[in-house]
Amino acid sequence: MHPVNLITASITEKTLIPCEPKEELCCVTGQRGPCIPRKLGVLSSFTSQDVFAAPQSAWISVDAWQALKHRPERASSWYCDGREFRTLNRRAVRDMVLAGQYGDTWAAYATTSYKKHGSLWAIVNRSPRAVWRFEMLNVDCSDRVRLMEIWTRLNEELRAGFGRSLLETLDCPAFLLNKLGAARWLALEQWARPLIQSPLYRFLCYLLPSQEELKEGFDHAA
């Protein structure tokens, strides 16, 4: 299964296809099924064709065509389980990740740029696997214990005074080092340095609450 199959199954108002489909090989999914000519859905200027499963095919499936035509698929973060396609803001992504409650088969995409076709990059999960696509990273959130360990520590450091950008880069300015103390900084760096390039760490940094949310009393353990 491909994410486009889940998305198209969830769309209630589908776009009228431009011609009668034929049984062919889909360039996007590599699946055989109802297709229309590729040129009707994918122009030569279309980026990301390198991730197509069958780039040599001159056909695109009706499912892939419908999914790529569905604007929220490329203009929002989203979750889809084949029954619903749900657009998400950052708070909603965070809520889903922390709750860890998904359908039996699903795909999800989190973006900060709102420029890419998330369905071309997302991973189809079957419980208990839980992999989010975050921009160009596959983030495995399946290990709930490990996820919550990192999340809890990041929030503790955030509340101690180490901001999101510092946690993302581990670049501590001198004034903050003087304010919070070298011992606290060295303990943080020793813990975070081996994690900083991991997709899970980077994703959880993105999901950290804003200063506004902290003022509102955001509970990181909720």
pLDDT, tens only, 161-188: 999 999 999 999 999 988 999 999 999 9
Q: Which residues of 134-143 are buried (b: 16+ CB within 10 A; e: fewer)?
A: bbebebbbee
Per DSSP, the chain holds a count of helices (H) and strands (E) of: 10, 9
Q: Which residues of 12-43 are buried (b: 16+ CB within 10 A; e: fewer)?
A: eeeeeeeeebeebbbbbbebebbbbebeebbe
Q: Domain count of the chain?
A: 2
Residue range 41-83, pLDDT digits in tens = 887 767 678 889 999 999 999 999 999 999 999 899 999 999 9
Write out the residue range of the structural domain in which residue 158 sits: 144-215
Together in a domain, 188 and 100: no
Compute the Cα dihedral for 82, 84, 89, 90 and give only its sign: negative
**Percent of the chain with pLDDT strictly greater than 90:** 82
Residue 220 belongs to some domain of the structure:
no
| Residue pair 88/25 in contact by the 8 Å Cβ criterion | no
Q: Model's pTM, two decimal places?
A: 0.90
Together in a domain, 52 and 151: no
pLDDT in the model for residue 217: 78
